[in-house]
Structure 1
Amino acid sequence: MLAFLDKRAASYYRGGTSRAIMIQVKDLPTDKSQWDPIFLGAIGSPDPYGRQLDGLGGGISSLSKICVVGPSIHPDADVDYTFVSLGIKNTHVDYSSNCGNMTAAVGPFAVDSGLLQVTEGEGETTTVRIHNTNTKKIIHARFPMADGEAASSGDLAIDGVAGTAAPIELQFIDPAGSRTGKLLPTGNAIDVFDGVRTTCIDAGNPCCFVQASELDVDGSLTPQQIDDHLDLKDRLESIRAQAAVKMGLADSPSSVPGSVPKIAIVSRPDASAAEDVNLVARAMSVGQPHKAIPVTVALALAAGAKTPGTTVSECVLQSDGDGSAMVVQHASGTLTVDADFDESGELRSANVYRTARRLMEGKVFWK
């Protein structure tokens, strides 16, 4: 007997170095307990082969995502945005974090789908105020318009994505304490897990950072080299799980969500790095080495760079500029984060530039 096929209105967008199915909340059941099977079926999980061939996923964490967008009742926002991370070989449906890369697609999707009406003319820009329900934080997305929709063509290139597209400026307002309420959730600049000094920071998403030298590895490992280094991956996951418990994100290591905290290896730029690079990082995402770097990890790195005594600040190569922007070298190139701190050292906002593009709109089927 054939399985019953159902469908929902949806769009498919690239946001930064990620892709996701975009769905308006009005097109989903009002009972949120019914969402998980829809999302898993649409993305193609679980897939024991790890390819998600029977759905719109791509077999890696940055391509196994759903974004739900709808009107907001938050006084400082135009839309609510809920990010969902889907397991690939399993049925994990994770609402515990935000995706900074897919945040870049939320404003364009809200405009393109008619959820928001804007009056800006050709070549002008619009700003969409986004309330991320996962972290309860506000993000401003500013992007150009063309023919009444979000512009897709432009001259901004971001490392990890081929070609160029229209720039999208993302300003994360008061990003510290997204899940724990504190920039340093453990109260310490450094904790020690499995004998490795670790900095736990919550800015954009909860993250933990360890130095390559303390893991006896090269900080410039490729994602494939990390994937092949099973002992390293096991060590990182053990540290991440212990950090999660100490950060108050889980009651035990076995109950730690796959998506938070993020963990990354940091190191000081060497002679082979570009002249303007301040820091080298290799990030993990749901147990896999990230091909580039999650935007929220870059936000946390910017915060850690300005926080004395962290594993991040020890690795930062200071530039001759004003120190507000930091260039992070990741596995596919670099990403610049412009962090704004007040006189007392509090993180007020952080800015990054991304691109996004609508790839498809219509109906997504699942079974």
Structure 2
Amino acid sequence: MSHPAQIKIPATYMRGGTSKGVFFRLEDLPSSCQVPGAARDKLFMRVIGSPDPYAKHTDGMGGATSSTSKCVILSRSTQTDHDVDYLYGQVAIDSAFVDWSGNCGNLSTAAGAFAIHAGLVDPARIPEDGICSVRIWQANIGKTIIAHVPISAGQVQETGDFELDGVTFPAAEIQLEFLDPADEGEGEGGGAMFPTGNLVDDLVVPGVGTLEVTLINAGIPTVFVNAAAIGYSGTELQEAINGDARALAMFEAIRAQGAVKMGLISDVSQAASRQHTPKVAFVAPPVDHVSSSGKVVKAGDIDLLVRALSMGKLHHAMMGTAAVAIGTAAAIPGTLVNLAAGGGERQSVVFGHPSGTLRVGAEAVRLDGQWQVKKAIMSRSARILMEGWVRVPGDCFE
């Protein structure tokens, strides 16, 4: 019996921040996959190696974690005053599902660099040496990101001495600006940043109890809860949670109820089909602790502790979009994040995560009774790991 041959598609495998993904130019995809739909989803799942009941991604490019099961499409922008349109797909590991509901902040770094590598930025805008500011339209959420990419001899400078906790080797620093990072509110209160209109809400979670939470749409929809309220210290590493089925079920219950409260879904039964958003994170005041690399983090060197879950597992570091949510919430007096950091007004925060620490800045103002953040800023790095073609069976996306 004959079987369709494999086809090859131009692709680039990149690290961005603490994530990795397979990057494509829109024009290089098979014609049926150049538009949203089942064909595109099937292609990306096959590229990554999902769904995989073994949760290993042995037969694909994925890394069997939420940080490494990602695909990205870039194209010349259809938006005024932007260089590229950036579309991100979070591929589920053990189920046949691609979530397009949010952004990946870490891969936003790589999106800026890839745009230059792939010839999607006007050559006249690229200096011989210096910084190229790539204006990115994040098509999943309809927001602008500016990636300030270092250039050397007309090419992206990838090597350098910038160190990022959660990434093994240093690289060149890329500063990201997330402009107007708050999403449009759809919740019961209709607030643009706080969907219920409140800085703190009571969230009833069956089987868990009533929890104080901060629900925020900034960077990515996020449910923040106090670590102590759910029995944690905020210093936990992955093994303390990811091997605990009861803990993971609790976090999913919190996430599902938070999604309903935020107006993202109408019923908790819909949460399974919206795995990427919202995120759940727990916060605590700073204490001395040890990161996953064995590095000692002193309480005096950070403002607070944050742990976050992504795709049902505790993240090994921190998602870039969640870092935007953290920085934004920290800048607004009265949120759980702000209170964990000691309260008061602040324009930046350094938080401890499982792999170390991260600084993120945000400036918040209150206009007509509503909180607004014009931009959030943080630094990451990115580099190409491999480029060429990815091969998939020719009938995998039919």
Report the TM-score range of the alignment, normalised by the length of the smaller protein: over 0.9
Paired residue total: 365
- Aligned pairs for 1:204-243 (under 5 A) are 204-243=219-258
Number of the residue aligned with 1:10: 11
SS in 1 for 2:123: coil
2:380 to 354, 357, 364: 354
Q: Which residue of 2 aligns with 1:83?
A: 88
Structure 1 portions without partners, runs of 5+ = none
Aligned residues: percent identity? 38
| Among 118, 126, 131, the residue aligned to 2:132 | 126
Q: Does 1:50 align with 2:55?
A: yes
Alignment of 1:182 with 2:205, yes or no, is no
CA distance in 1 between partners of 2:70 and 2:233 (Å): 30
For 2:96 and 2:155, locate their aligned partners in 1 and report how far apart those are by CA, in whole Å: 35
Distance 2:286 2:326 in 1: 14
Deviation larger for 74-83 or 25-34: 25-34
SS at match of 1:8: strand
Within a 5 Å distance, the mapping from 1:88-107 to structure 2 comes to: 88-107=93-112
- Alignment match of 1:262 (pick from 264, 276, 279): 279
Identify which range, 263-272 or 37-46, moves more after superposition.
263-272
- Structure 1 distance, partners of 2:300, 2:122, is 43
3-state SS, counterpart of residue 61 of structure 1: coil
Amino acid at match of 1:104: T
Provide the aligned C-alpha RMSD in A: 1.7
Residue aligning to 1:202: 217
CA gap of 1:50–1:338, structure 2 versus 1, over 3 A, is same
Match of 2:162 in 1: 156
TM-score, normalised to structure 1, is 0.95
CA distance in 2, matches of 1:189, 1:107: 33
Report SS of the residue matched to 1:226.
Answer: helix
Tell me, yes or no, if structure 1 residue 337 matches structure 2 residue 360.
yes
For the 8 Å contact 1:220–1:331, the answer to whether it is kept is yes
- Who is 1:364 aligned against? 390
CA deviation map 1:134-166 (0-9, x unaligned)? 110000000111232211111100000012111
The answer as to 2:132 corresponding to 1:137 is no
- Cα deviation for residue 4 of structure 1 reads 4.0
Q: Is there any run of 5+ residues in structure 2 with no aligned partner, and where?
A: 290-297, 394-398
Aligned match of 1:171: 177
AA partner of residue 341 (structure 1): A
Confirm or deny that 1:310 pairs with 2:335: yes
1:77 Cα deviation from its structure 2 partner? 1.2
Q: What is the distance in 1 between the residues matched to 2:84 and 2:279? A: 26
Say if 1:122 and 1:146, in contact at 8 Å, map to a contact too. Answer: yes
TM-score when normalising by structure 2: 0.88
Q: Distance in 2 between matches of 1:124 and 1:217?
A: 45
